[in-house]
Amino acid sequence: MIHKISQFFQKIRKRTLLWICAALCSVALLTAAVDNSFELVKNLDIFYSVVKELDAFYVDEINPGKLIPKAIDEMLSSLDPYTNFIPESKIEDLRFMTTGSYGGIGALIGKKSDRAVVTEPYEGLPAQKAGIKAGDIILKIDDFDTKGKDIESVSEKLKGLQGTPVKIMVERVGHSKPLTFTVVRENIHISSVPYYTMYPDNIGYIQFNNFTQNCTKEVSQAIDSLVKAGATSLILDLRGNPGGLLDEAISICNLFIPKGQLIVSTKGKMKQWNRDYLTMREPQWPKIPIVVMVNRSSASASEIVAGALQDLDRGVIVGSRTFGKGLVQATRPLSYNAQLKLTTAKYYIPSGRCIQALDYSHRNEDGSVGTIPDSLISEFKTKNGRKVYDGGGILPDVIVEIGKMSRIASELYVQNHIFDFATQYAATHPTITSPEKFTISDLEYQEFIRFMSGREFKYELESSAKLKKLIESLKEEKYLDKVTEEINLLSKKMEQNLQSDLMTFKDEIIRLLNQEIISRYYYQKGRIQYLLRNDPELDSALNILRTHERYKSILAGTK
């Protein structure tokens, strides 16, 4: 096929290039951008020639359907992580990112060996209602055998039109034979507000997960419910919220900020991307005290909301510095129903600061991207005159330090040992107590230790890896002989002992086990309820709202 296309292009190539060159010469009289345009045409011609030569002379048949999209992806990755080519086959994924809705069974899936596994069925949605559980290994979807198939292929088979049935055969712990479920697909909508509740002293709490279409309505309904129940102040939890639609971020701010107030500006290469976004309506809750919780995973639209509320002194920000994604994306239609999502501008919040942390346009010699140096960080002022700074992300008004998880705990989680133990636990325990009370006992933790003794588990401390590099450097510089005794002693002290580490980091590991086990019985809400039981950032937010004078002093800059 590509050979026929090659012959066709060969016939028109000279004439087309002459036309392009003539056009460019004409444009040269009007613009200084001709050099760049010529470079574009020249390199496109070279690329076409490379593909043509590969098709004609490469030893094996090439697959242009894979080769060229890979070239496009590599090209776009050299710009920034947010500029992406979206083929027709991935349009549904884009739609889900913006709407939070898709046709399917309502379950998250992951990989286990050479099969797909259900990692979490959503409560009240088709998979859970049909009886599918977390830990179920998917063997077949109708006649489609999942063995060796990637997650993307399995996911596509589970998706489909609302009202259509799908047969799912699974392998389940505790059952000797496979189980088959018939699940009727529905239009699945993942709520932006998975949980909200009331704390003592009339403090409302809302967990807000993403900025999809109509998320403002969901947040507004949650606030309204809390206020009717007596809430006089509010915590908006944006931790882990990756962002989403800009218009929804403006609307969320407009719930609290007066009409006509600048929330964010965008500035790009083309004038059409230069725009000021103002609140359009009078706010529903103009005076309710607000604390916004953020962390390193709060990005994009989350940073706009947190940054605007901070700059306008409308709310107190608590947690850790946010991600620092201040780049605006737009989609452009391509041929064959594909799309190009590309960065078109940067965000600037009301004080005038840009929240972008990394400068992708000026990479280091090794191709890595550096953060803005301290010498280039600028000072800005909030509405009340408080000092705030650019340099990437939003720095909270009240910083709460959260310790880093130990290597053994994180590896137990990443390698699915926590997940597998929870699956085994749920198979032998029909019920557990509420998320507010549940924790595994010391005897049950000993069961986990025995469970791990029969499994393959490898992990390496970061310090051990650095010690190995030090030894290599000492060898190269011929100093190792002088410090061999000290190195051996240090290595012995750092030698990993699984049994010992499982006890040293017991509290961390139990926390991971508890949340995974709770999710098997109480799903996403239960996991959230458990995590909020021991949450230093939440405690800080609650304390600020319980001390009205402190809340006011932070916003006035007199704390």
Residue 426 lies in a domain: yes
pLDDT at 383 over 50: yes
Residue 80 lies in a domain: no
Each residue's pLDDT tens digit, 486-543: 777 777 666 557 788 899 999 999 999 999 999 999 999 999 999 999 999 999 999 9
Q: What percent of the chain has pLDDT over 70?
A: 91
pLDDT band at 94 (very low <50, low <70, confident <90, very high): confident
Buried b (16+ CB within 10 A) or exposed e, 384-423: eebebebbbbbbbbbebeeeeebbbbebbbeebbbbbbbb
pLDDT at 15 over 80: no
Q: Please tell me whether residues 455 and 478 are part of one structural domain.
A: no
β-pairing, 115-121 vs 137-141, is antiparallel
Q: Between 433 and 273, name the one with better pLDDT.
A: 433
pLDDT band at 17 (very low <50, low <70, confident <90, very high): very low
Each residue's pLDDT tens digit, 214-271: 999 999 999 999 999 999 999 999 999 999 999 999 999 999 999 999 999 999 988 8
Q: Please tell me whether residues 278 and 348 are part of one structural domain.
A: yes
300 is known as an active-site residue: yes
Tokens 């393959």, located at residue: 456
Phi then psi dihedrals of residue 505, to 5 deg: -110, 30
Domain end residue (candidates: 189, 209, 243): 189
Point out the catalytic residue in the list 136, 237, 311, 397: 311
CATH number of the structural domain spanning residue 139: 2.30.42.10
Q: Please tell me whether residues 523 and 432 are part of one structural domain.
A: yes
Burial of residue 439 (CB within 10 Å: 0-12, 13-18, 19+) is middle
Q: Please tell me whether residues 344 and 294 are part of one structural domain.
A: yes
133 is known as an active-site residue: no
pLDDT at 200 over 60: yes
Q: Please tell me whether residues 208 and 337 are part of one structural domain.
A: yes
Q: Kind and range of the H or E element at 43?
A: helix 34-57
Collapsing DSSP states into helix, strand and coil, what is residue 108? strand
Residue 81 lies in a domain: no
Q: Please tell me whether residues 359 and 390 are part of one structural domain.
A: yes
Residue 418 lies in a domain: yes
Residue 365 lies in a domain: yes
Number of domains composing the chain: 5
Residue 89 lies in a domain: no
Domain residues for the domain of 483 are 462-494
Each residue's pLDDT tens digit, 391-409: 889 999 999 998 889 989 9
Residue 75 lies in a domain: no
Point out the catalytic residue in the list 133, 149, 157, 325: 325
**What is this structure's pTM?**
0.84
- Is 532 within 8 Å of 435 (Cβ atoms)? no
Q: Please tell me whether residues 211 and 360 are part of one structural domain.
A: yes
pLDDT at 318 over 80: yes
Residue (of 432, 446, 442, 456) closest to 522 by Cα position? 432
Each residue's pLDDT tens digit, 125-152: 999 999 999 999 999 999 999 999 999 8
Q: Please tell me whether residues 182 and 206 are part of one structural domain.
A: no
- Which pLDDT score, from 0 to 100, does residue 360 have? 83
Residue 482 lies in a domain: yes
Q: Please tell me whether residues 371 and 441 are part of one structural domain.
A: no
113 is known as an active-site residue: no
pLDDT at 368 over 90: no
Point out the catalytic residue in the list 300, 320, 351, 519: 300
Q: Please tell me whether residues 49 and 141 are part of one structural domain.
A: no
Q: Between 478 and 285, name the one with better pLDDT.
A: 285
